[in-house]
Structure 1
């Protein structure tokens, strides 16, 4: 299949890329210099031969793009001038309305509609979300990811999916490690409870593998509902119970690796992806690459070989 290559803006968050000393320093500098931040990201994407981007948490978020260029159409023009485009936006902001109890549905929908309107204005068609995180195993009272919980999540997803569809945007769910959409069983249950007209899937090959699952099997089972996928490699399943708090994402990092150096079967994954509605985009996910241009070139080479 012929596909465009894309990446998440988090690829460019490594302090070394900015000649800074910490992630906090990168966020502070980018907040103060949003236009310079985006221009360097765009230049690096063009140099790497990657044409699509997924917006994420700050500094590579919607608000940063608006501060830098003033409006979604202006941001789109800047991207287009370099042969780039927005593929999707990931609801990863810490201040986004939480889905845990669903009591704030009005705020959840309003937040999603705002993002969808931006995406429509920049020519993108996909809003990516995740389900809430699990709690640390052994915590009391226990939190169970059962049918009742997943039914609540499905109800919210339907409402949000219908709302963003009014903007021509699809809502897809990412399979994040240690979240309530992680294990193969979680994915199958959520997909079974949701309407395929309004709820799509964004499987992450790494995270599914980290949960002991088979990303290729997941992709085959839900092929017609995959609007986008994150291509990422894993060292192996997470073999301990992580503490689920603000540090959980850092705890997961040692289990992730560059494409082609882990356990994901890339030829089988590429074959499965070719049968999905999202086959037109290959999103290479590389968290905080010290040399993002080199890392993206290496990742796209692995993907190209698998696709051939």
Structure 2
């Protein structure tokens, strides 16, 4: 490899109840409200033990709000990370409202607020998940057509410009069963957005679940990749899989697997990734695993032992 990469992980890795000794996600949220310092201490200790250098924040409980509750301010949070030799790389941001007729001002304000936190905490990327699709038999049907893609592009441009002025790049994430996961969807929306303002965060597992090959799908847009989620999958999910918005993300996990035990072509993915702006960081994403420290170490060892 041309570079010596840093290893990072998405904090969704720690959202399995077993890691916390509780029975459900709601129980983890209860712990967050009871003692946010204890929550963050456990996560940061685990990152250090696993040999991670940086991380991506996500939805609650390990989000902006709980970080400020735990450490008193953005500066307090960043100081804690620095003392531990850790860095914030990025944060997930929901773009579920990026649809035709959206309140542009409201969407802009939400993105700017999080981007300011990310910048102040030392990060540089806002990873945006676009709206989910509906099942094929939904009534009325939801089409990812020119009108929809144009609305997404309009919002992405305004948000991308605003966050970039704060030193944070807006990168669109490929979530399976979303409006930005198949080759066609990705090509359509990236073609309609200006690469000077809107960047790309591919997820190897989610592209696989959507029936694509991560290398083939990402290669035409490699110059826009500023970060990626390195994650393995068993293969494509069944065509026409029903999309229940309250459970589909959990159902994805049944088709994901440990790095190196799925179908992603890691040697060729690594070669492609070396051509991207994001090449300095391998961001592992292990969706809510029961033993996150062991899984992070195993994923890192797999990549290192195979020269990836």
| TM-score normalised over the length of structure 1 | 0.96
Matched, 1:173 2:181: no
- Report what 1:219 is aligned to: 218
Matches within 5 A, 1:269-308: 269-308=269-308
Mapped partners of 1:139, 1:47: distance in 2: 46
The gaps in structure 1 that reach 5 residues or longer are: none
Q: Which moved more, 1:45-54 or 1:22-31?
A: 22-31
- Report what 1:14 is aligned to: 16
Structure 1 position 245, deviation (Å): 2.0
Mapped partners of 1:86, 1:217: distance in 2: 30
Structure 1 position 69, deviation (Å): 0.6
- Report what 1:136 is aligned to: 135
SS of match in other structure, 2:143: coil
What's the RMSD between the two structures over aligned residues?
Answer: 1.3
1:89 maps to which of 74, 88, 91: 91
Structure 1 position 291, deviation (Å): 1.2
**Any idea what the Cα deviations from partners look like across 1:85-108, whole Å, max 9, x if unmatched?**
10100014xxx7722234211010
Instruction: Call closer, same or farther: CA 1:226–1:102 in 2, change over 3 Å.
Output: farther
- Report what 1:44 is aligned to: 46
Mapped partners of 1:245, 1:217: distance in 2: 28
User: In 2, are the aligned partners of 1:134 and 1:244 still within 8 Å (CA)?
Assistant: no
**Any idea what the Cα deviations from partners look like across 1:218-269, whole Å, max 9, x if unmatched?**
2221111001000000111011422332111122221111111100001111
Mapped partners of 2:96, 2:181: distance in 1: 21
Q: Which moved more, 1:44-53 or 1:247-256?
A: 247-256
SS of match in other structure, 1:282: strand
Mapped partners of 1:291, 1:97: distance in 2: 30
User: In 1, are the aligned partners of 2:96 and 2:132 still within 8 Å (CA)?
Assistant: no
Structure 1 position 17, deviation (Å): 1.2
Matches within 5 A, 1:1-308: 1-92=3-94, 98-240=97-239, 241-308=241-308
Mapped partners of 1:304, 1:221: distance in 2: 27
SS of match in other structure, 1:189: helix
SS of match in other structure, 1:91: strand
Instruction: Call closer, same or farther: CA 1:110–1:65 in 2, change over 3 Å.
Output: same
Q: Which moved more, 1:295-304 or 1:260-269?
A: 295-304
Mapped partners of 1:152, 1:19: distance in 2: 43
Mapped partners of 2:11, 2:127: distance in 1: 14
SS of match in other structure, 1:237: coil
Structure 1 position 307, deviation (Å): 4.2
The gaps in structure 2 that reach 5 residues or longer are: none
**Any idea what the Cα deviations from partners look like across 1:32-84, whole Å, max 9, x if unmatched?**
21111111111111000011110101001111101111111110110111110
User: In 2, are the aligned partners of 1:270 and 1:306 still within 8 Å (CA)?
Assistant: no
**Any idea what the Cα deviations from partners look like across 1:201-229, whole Å, max 9, x if unmatched?**
00000000111101011222111100100
Mapped partners of 2:184, 2:142: distance in 1: 16
User: In 1, are the aligned partners of 2:118 and 2:168 still within 8 Å (CA)?
Assistant: yes
| TM-score normalised over the length of structure 2 | 0.96
